Amino acid sequence: MDENIIEQYCDNLWMERGLSKNTLDSYKSDLKNLHLWLDKKSKNLLNCEREDLNIFLSYKMDQGNSVTSVIRFLSVIRGFYSWSKENNKIKYNPTDLLESPKIRRNLPINLSEDDVTRILNAPDIKTELGVRDKTILELLYATGLRISELTNLKITQINLTDGLVKVMGKGNKERIIPIGQNALNYIKIYLNKSRAKFIKTDNNEYLFLSNKGQPISRKSCWKMISSYAKINSQKKKISPHSLRHAFASHLLNHGADLRSVQMLLGHSSLSTTQIYTHVAKERLIQFHSKHHPRG
């Protein structure tokens, strides 16, 4: 029964909110995880109580899950039980009055402009693979794309004439982002001289392809960026998201307003973007201390 109602709930999310397959798969995994745990206690999703959920959240923490992961999981089950209550599948919502773990918001890894330049210059552009990787790095930093947005990018989403990329972000929200001349130049080089090497099948509408001719995966991008960071002796733990952080904080350092950065990043809430102001302020303080005669 639990698995059927999980499918019903996720089908509803897909129809009502247009969530991506990755997000829906994550929701299903979380709810099935809870279902299996409850099943061992001879309970199910529709007859559990708040205390059961409290115990389960503690269990998740004891397993080594981060506070952020547990809060995300709690958000998933809150949504599930709200939907269940609205659709008369339960009389009482067990997540009512359920407290969230407290989280300390960490600042994103702060890459300087020199750090980014070293990473972007790491690929060997004498090879087709190096040109592809260089283009990926340039595009990530130039646009602040999420890695899932980049790996799902199709050639038709790139406007080479106007230098724009059209992106379908979270919740199927569309946004259009300027690419910038450096990234645009490398996209053209990649399309004209390198991409053909990666084409192995007729299904080649995606911009970035793997050596097997498939759309490049998030995992491959993660490994690629980490390897180029290590080549340049980056001691920081660098990920695709690090370039998104750098995109936002460097824009703010150069005077961009917060609302514009929010639109470029595709954040639905300004509060999500505000974390980058702390990074920008920190850089400005360091700059002032280093260069001002009374710093």
Q: What is the pLDDT of residues 190-230, one digit of tens each?
A: 999 999 999 988 778 999 999 999 999 989 999 999 899 88
Return the pLDDT at 141.
93
Reported pTM: 0.60
Class of domain 2-86: mainly alpha
- Using N-to-C axis directions, what is the helix angle for 128-143 and 240-253, rounded to 10°? 50
Annotation marks residue 278 as catalytic = no
**Has 291 been annotated as catalytic?**
no
Of these residues, 218, 241, 278, 283, which one is catalytic?
241
Choosing from 81, 141, 190, 276, the catalytic residue is 276
How many residues does the structure list for the chain? Answer: 295
Q: Could you say which DSSP state residue 109 is in?
A: P
pLDDT for the residue 284: 47
> The domain 113-291: what is its CATH number?
1.10.443.10
Which H helix or E strand runs over 26? Answer: helix 21-40
Domains 2-86 and 113-291 share a fold: no
Please compute, for residue 165, the number of CA atoms within 13 A of its CA located in the half-sphere on the CB side: 27
The catalytic residue among 85, 166, 170, 218 is 170
- pLDDT band of residue 277 (cuts 50, 70, 90) is low
Active site residue 244: yes
Is residue 105 classed as helix, strand or coil in its secondary structure? coil
Where do the domains of the chain lie? 2-86, 113-291
Q: Tokens 């090879």: give the residue.
A: 127
Residue 132 appears among annotated catalytic residues: no
- pLDDT of residue 14 exceeding 70, the answer is yes
Residues 32-78 have pLDDT tens digits of: 999 999 988 888 899 988 888 888 888 887 777 777 788 888 889 99
Please give the pLDDT value at position 280. Answer: 52
